[in-house]
A and B are shown apart, each in its own frame.
Chain A
Amino acid sequence: DTAVSQTPKYLVTQMGNDKSIKCEQNLGHDTMYWYKQDSKKFLKIMFSYNNKELIINETVPNRFSPKSPDKAHLNLHINSLELGDSAVYFCASSQAGGVATQYFGPGTRLTVL
């Protein structure tokens, strides 16, 4: 059983399009995250949700909107895609409270043409 899963694994799209990436975890965790790994391999946090409530929101363009329908799911919707959005996006989850180890999904490679 996959603990943290993401779909799709690869996404190729044109500039200006709107796309979504889905994430699901079956670990029973309360907190979920989105990270972006850019071409320089920097892995940076974008958002964090705890029990469907936004708790971390880094300096990310408004075109990125996370949505958490329930605590097992955290989707990422991106409007008006730009070339610079090309990256690998990782979803992660952890137990809530204090310092908790984060478990990552396999990543979604987004390519904007």
Chain B
Amino acid sequence: DQQVKQNSPSLSVQEGRISILNCDYTNSMFDYFLWYKKYPAEGPTFLISISSIKDKNEDGRFTVFLNKSAKHLSLHIVPSQPGDSAVYFCAACCGGATNKLIFGTGTLLAVQP
């Protein structure tokens, strides 16, 4: 039972354009959401997060949007850069469970120069 889903396994974007990565979840108890970025042969690196009491959080080129009614969140990267090419994981927490992250399967973003 996959509670956090990233339905696009891959995404290709031109440098300078916007990248939009999507994530859906099923458990309405989740109250915190995070995005991690992962390069090959490295561990996931925290990128940005959002609490369920907000619908938007911005940090530089990265913005996360949360639509609670649709149980959907998205990560916008603008402008996209070749160094952004990586796998992006969406994660959800906690719903009463102690800091237990539930991860999606990831989306491979390729930013073409």
Contacts and interface: CB of A to CB of B under 8 A. Distances in A.
Contact of A99 (B43, B46, B93, B102): B93
Given A105-B43, A106-B41, A40 B105 contact: yes
B49 A106 contact: no
Interface string A37-57: 000111111001010000110
A104 B36 CA distance: 10
B34 interface: yes
20 contacts: A4-B43, A41-B87, A43-B89, A43-B103, A44-B103, A45-B100, A45-B101, A45-B102, A48-B98, A56-B97, A90-B43, A90-B44, A92-B43, A99-B32, A99-B99, A101-B46, A103-B46, A104-B43, A104-B44, A106-B42
Chain A, interface size category, equals 20 to 34
B99 A48 contact: yes
Nearest to B49: A101
A107 B42 CA distance: 7
A94 interface: yes
B12 interface: no
Contacts of A103: 46
A94 B105 contact: no
Contacts, number: 54
A106 B44 contact: no
Contacts of B49: 101
Nearest to A107: B43
Nearest to A6: B43
A14 B107 CA distance: 33
Interface in A21-76: 31, 40-45, 48, 50, 55-56
Contacts of A80: none
B89 to A, nearest CB: 7
B45 A101 contact: no
A43 B91 CA distance: 10
Given A42-B105, A99-B93, A94 B99 contact: yes
Contacts of A50: 98
Q: Which of B49, B93, B101 has the most CB of A within 10 A?
A: B101
